[in-house]
Amino acid sequence: MIFKTLLLSAVFSAAVWSQSLNCDSRDYKPQAGLKAEPSSGGLELSWTGERGDQLRASFSLRNGQPMIAELAVRGNAGSWIVLGRNLTPEFQVTSGKRRLSEQQMAPLRALGIALTPEVVDREKWNAFWDAPLMVPGAPNTNMDLPRKPEEIRRAWATYQATGCAVKSDGGRIELTFPGVEMGIFSGRLQYTVYRGSNLLRQEVIAKTDEPSVAYKYLAGVKGMAIGNDTRLRWRDTARNWQQYGFGGAVNTDAVAVRARNRVLIVEEGGGSLAFLPPSHKFFFAREIETNLGYVYYRKDSPSSFAIGVRQADREESYRPFGVSDAEWNKTANEARHDINNFALYNAPPGTWQRMPVYFYLSPARAEATDEAVLAYTHDDRYKEMPGFKVVVSHFHMHWNEHITDGGSVDEQPSWLQVFRGLGVNVVILADFHSDSHPNDPGPVRFAEQKVYFDGCARFSDRDFLLIPGEEPDNKLGGHYITFLPRPVYWSHVRTPGQQFQENDPKYGKVYHIGSAEEELDMLRREGGLMWQAHPRTKGSAGYPDAVRDKAHFLSDRFLGGSFQSLPVDQSQQRLCEVRCLDLMDEMNNWGTDPKYMIAEGDTYMKYPDDETYPQVIVNYVKLDRVPAFGEDWSPIVHAMRAGDYFVSSGEVLLRQWGIEGAGAHRVYTADVEWTFPPEFVEVVWGDGHSTGRQVMSTTGLPPLSHNTFRIPFDAAGKQWVRFAFWDSAGNGAFTQPVRLK
């Protein structure tokens, strides 16, 4: 009756649901399959999950400490299975100082941009080459080195909650406890349940006022009971099932488990509790995807243990390759330098950083639970979509050097299996960057290009194409990707006596590039494309802004900029919200031909036991089929130049999209499917000066579903428009801008 009275008295600021828990419910509305009710000493959330499963999570407050009193699940025709009781949320934050990288400073200096405090404060948040936890740091990598041990601070969360608030938001309930302190961060603890999903999200939402904070977090629960049948189950990096029954000694620290797909599962009482991080937004940009163990357990006593998600303190080098000592030493040195890149998350002052972990409540054993969890990422594959092919770009594999050193063009590389396993159809490689001889005027480079082309031809297949692209940092400013629709021999330099275009007796038509104008001329003659690699960061800091009035940017050969989840700011709702998406909108307001975002990797060597899926974003390009290596690849060029593709993290897919109507009254239509509980859709537009958007909440829609959206918008005065869909885990997909006529 207390609960009923409370609902009828929404004007009251708070109400007593039990003697020990005061909860503000003004924003709560009960609905079928999603309820919050008073329980013994606390509050119980109950909801309907997948396949008719019933789930409940009970919460209480103990001396200011929020507690999960019980987690339980019941199958469609079964009895209740208790998965945990009296669990304490645990969070730890580790922070260091964010520094601007030398890699960014060099192009800014070359452009004559003074490194004023204002410029440094703006640009440091786009740092890639930064490793705030590596003391003292490698010389000449960052501003204001060496790092000092006292910069690194670690703090466990403490709680002084006096009550809670419960809120309905579409098909979800959010339960919030204030009073969280975690070193330099302070904020609140929040739990979210979703109708139609077995997921429970636990997170701290906190902010800091310090000026240059980079951080990582650990999130989980402790107090899990060890029973006679309690055990952990997971698939290792080779996809074999492993288990641990807590028969070992007590742990001092968290035990990082290198679980495949980032999923660890507790089997208990006939059911299971899986836990995992968000599938993409948890991961900051790196150059390799070595599995560093993103889930953990910790045996705290003979009778209890803790579980959760975590990030490592540092990078690990990848396994070098090479037959000759020279090649082995080169790749070993390159692998080692990657440890200076472990940038963590950004926490600009006053921003509310979200630090989540997901739990999945299941009435089944580990194998079935694992399958259900992986439905949210399509088993870590980019799902096949009729009429589309999955295209990825910008990977430094040193393929020419690898083949040459191995002595056979038929040596199959390990990274080939990785791309095929992900469901990728087209890979645009980017060799001749830190490898081979990109600045040779012809004799050496052309021979290397021949090996590069032959290697790509050898391992292209039906529905799989390796394109020998490049990432020059030559004539056009910053770093950029060149994509030509066929193998083309060209050098980055033209020496005296060489012509722009020549007929070589061995290689046929070749180009020698002596200027930006000649490089653009080659792209036009060959029907190729270019785009700015990692715009506004790394070696492209200051670009494409610095060339917005240049001929190559203004031409239709300049496609736009590459999209990568860099940096990661957990206060933002979208992947690469500011550096990438804002740039795309700004470029289209500059009044040129349409400019797009192209998903890229910008990573190096890969092995099948890496955890690659969460760190790659892809392009779904409208293609009926993948051209063979020996055919013209122009259909890919034409589709990309026309904007006939969408960028996706994999969990959100666009079946089709378009604009209906004429004049001022238009409707953007999009047929979308998704996995994680959705958050919002948006139509974004520009008028040549500013950007606007119309955002529509989708929290009322179920997970693992699809819908056709029809969003009316006023086209008057607008020059271009695009569409995007984002889910509650930060995953998403977006179309390219379309010019309005």
What CATH number is associated with residue 197? Answer: 2.70.98
Residues 6+ apart with CB under 8 A from 110: none
Quote the number of domains for the chain.
Answer: 3
29 and 7, same structural domain? Answer: yes
Are 675 and 560 contained in the same domain?
Answer: no
Concatenated DSSP letters for 167-191?
Answer: EEETTEEEEEEEEEEETTEEEEEEE
* Within-domain flag for 139: no
Are 417 and 482 contained in the same domain? yes
CA distance 684 to 696: 12
Full residue range of the structural domain in which residue 270 is found:
2-93+155-283+352-375
pLDDT at 176: 98
> Does residue 135 sit within a domain?
no
Question: What's the one-letter identity of residue 244?
Answer: Y
78 φ, ψ to 5°? -115, -170
Q: Rounded to whole angstroms, how far apart are CA atoms 137 and 339?
A: 10
Instruction: Find, among 320, 305, 302, the residue nearest to 257 by Cα.
Output: 305
pLDDT value of position 20: 59
In a domain, 718, yes or no: yes
Same domain (yes/no): 674, 616: no
For 662-712, the DSSP string reads: ETTEEEEEEEEEESSPEEEEEEEEE-SS-EEEEEEE-TTSPSSEEEEEEEE
Pairing of strands 164-169, 22-27: parallel
The Cα 343–Cα 64 span in angstroms is 34
- 19, 58: one domain: yes
Residue 676 in any domain: the answer is yes
Residue 515 CB neighbour total at 10 angstroms: 11
What pLDDT score does 320 carry? 87
Are 671 and 625 members of one domain? no
How far is the C-alpha of 392 from the C-alpha of 408, rounded, in Å? 26
Q: Identify the pLDDT of residue 692.
A: 97
d(CA 564, CA 586): 17
Tell me how far apart the alpha carbons of residues 197 and 200 are, in angstroms, rounded to a whole number: 8
> Do 401 and 464 belong together in one domain?
yes
pTM confidence score: 0.96
Same domain, 659 and 631: no
**Cα separation of 426 and 626, whole Å?**
8
**Vertex 278, ends 277 and 279: CA angle to 5°?**
105
Last residue of a domain, one of 627, 650, 673: 650
Q: What is the pLDDT of residue 5?
A: 29
Domain contains 255: yes
Decide which of 650, 669, 696 is a domain's last residue: 650
Is 116 a member of any domain?
A: no
Domain CATH number, residue 631: 3.20.20.140
Tell me, what amino acid is at 493?
A: V
- β-pair type (15-16, 22-27): antiparallel
DSSP letter for 643, please. Answer: T
**Domain closes at, from 375, 408, 431:** 375
Same domain, 637 and 664: no
Pair 364, 434 in one domain: no
Domain CATH for 708 = 2.60.40.10
Report the DSSP pairing between strands 558-563 and 596-599: parallel
Same domain, 493 and 555: yes
Q: Judge if 82 and 228 occupy the same domain.
A: yes
Residue 272's closest CA among 231, 313, 302? 231
Whether 338 is in a domain gets the answer no
How many residues in the chain? Answer: 741
Name the DSSP class of 348. -
Residue among 618, 608, 675 nearest 377 (CA): 675
| pLDDT at position 13 | 33
Give 10-residue mean pLDDT values along the chain (741 residues): 34 39 93 93 95 97 96 93 97 98 97 97 97 95 96 98 96 98 98 98 98 98 96 97 97 97 95 98 96 98 98 92 89 82 97 98 97 98 98 95 93 95 98 90 95 96 97 93 97 95 96 96 98 97 97 97 97 97 98 92 95 97 97 98 98 97 95 98 97 97 98 96 98 97 84
In-domain check, residue 198: yes
In 269-401, beta strands by DSSP E:
271-276, 295-301, 304-309, 345-347, 353-362, 388-395
Alpha-carbon distance 189 to 201, whole Å? 11
Number of neighbouring beta carbons within 10 Å of residue 645: 24
